[in-house]
Amino acid sequence: MIIVLKSGTTAAQAEDFSRKLAERYDVAVNTWHGAHSTVLGLLGDTAAVDIESLAAQDEVESVKRVQEPYKKANRKFHPEDTVIDLGGGSVIGGGRLGVIAGPCSVESEQQIVQIAEDVKASGAAFLRGGAFKPRTSPYSFQGLRAEGLELLREARAKTGLPIVTEIMSAAHLELFEDVDIIQVGARNMQNFELLKELGKIDKPILLKRGLSGTIEELLMSAEYIMAGGNEKVILCERGIRTFETMTRNTLDISAIPLLKSLSHLPVVVDPSHAAGISSLVEPLALAAIAAGADGLIIEVHNDPPHALSDGAQSLTPAQFDKLSARIQQVAPLFGKTVSKRV
């Protein structure tokens, strides 16, 4: 349920009204202070709430029920865009386009540091790299695990780029204490026990859409994290599984404006996994910007033919540099400013 308070209602009045609502109806109350109004979001069983009685209160402008099962992720509860700002120019959301780039897998110190330096020089504001790798085959490279995280830290120390890397189990959380953005991969989108644990920490979570996940299921997974208290969630469209076999997945470009209308959370697009083909990364990345994406996550490898994972979809540093220049040209046409690490 959403309650919009009248313009001129003070913060103290809003707090007092929220307290009374929580006590009377046994609900949690989320408060959002905008430039011209204050919005209260009631979470819990609101069936007993008398809308007519609420609407008659002096402080209340309007009252309406929210039918969607996701509440904290719902734009009706939080009209303004959520912005993820890690400082130093690394921003996603609120008109800022954050570019995340790096290899699918961390393979060695030399590899990750060199790629980090290259993508930063080309304009990336974040470094991605996989240390724990969920692979379809148990015989495929599974990542360097804890050693890979240490190498990512070394790359961050040398470049200043915040690091983005995937977690596979809540048991690994201690290892991720100083990771800047924790990624939840497509296969774990509905790993609810993991999502609950991530809801207890104060760190941005990049949540990838599952291979066959619906948009509502993605938002409900975000809700699991936010219900635990962590509202720093980034949604990621990375392609879904369809009948098409020419590409690795099918990028759901319509998901971007739809998610932006339904939720206040920033939306990042992964054109590398969506296509699985390096030559398609640029057109899909530019299409994502045109559709309203708040960020891109792009795989870059210094030697794609010999990459230990996902070489076919990885750009070389030179190719990424050209794409980055195109992103700089195109983003302003759609009201975006590309984040730049300073």
Does residue 40 contact residue 17 with C-beta atoms inside 8 Å? yes
Same domain, residue pair 198 and 268: yes
pLDDT value, residue 177 = 95
Indicate whether 66 pLDDT > 90.
Answer: no
Q: Are strands 38-43 and 28-33 parallel, antiparallel or unpaired?
A: antiparallel
Give pTM, 2 decimals: 0.89
The whole domain housing 18 covers 2-64
Domain containing residue 34: CATH number: 3.30.70.1140
Which residue matches tokens 């590309």?
338
pLDDT value, residue 303 = 95
Domains contained in the chain, number: 2
Does residue 338 contact residue 300 with C-beta atoms inside 8 Å? no
Confidence of residue 149 (pLDDT cuts 50, 70, 90): very high
Does residue 265 contact residue 294 with C-beta atoms inside 8 Å? no
Q: What is the mean pLDDT of residues 174-180?
A: 96
Same domain, residue pair 235 and 109: yes
Residue where a domain terminates, one of 33, 64, 95: 64
What tokens does 83 get? 């912005």
Which residue matches tokens 């393979």?
107
Indicate whether 186 pLDDT > 90.
Answer: yes
Same domain, residue pair 151 and 27: no
For helices 317-330 and 109-122, the axis angle rounded to 10 degrees is 30
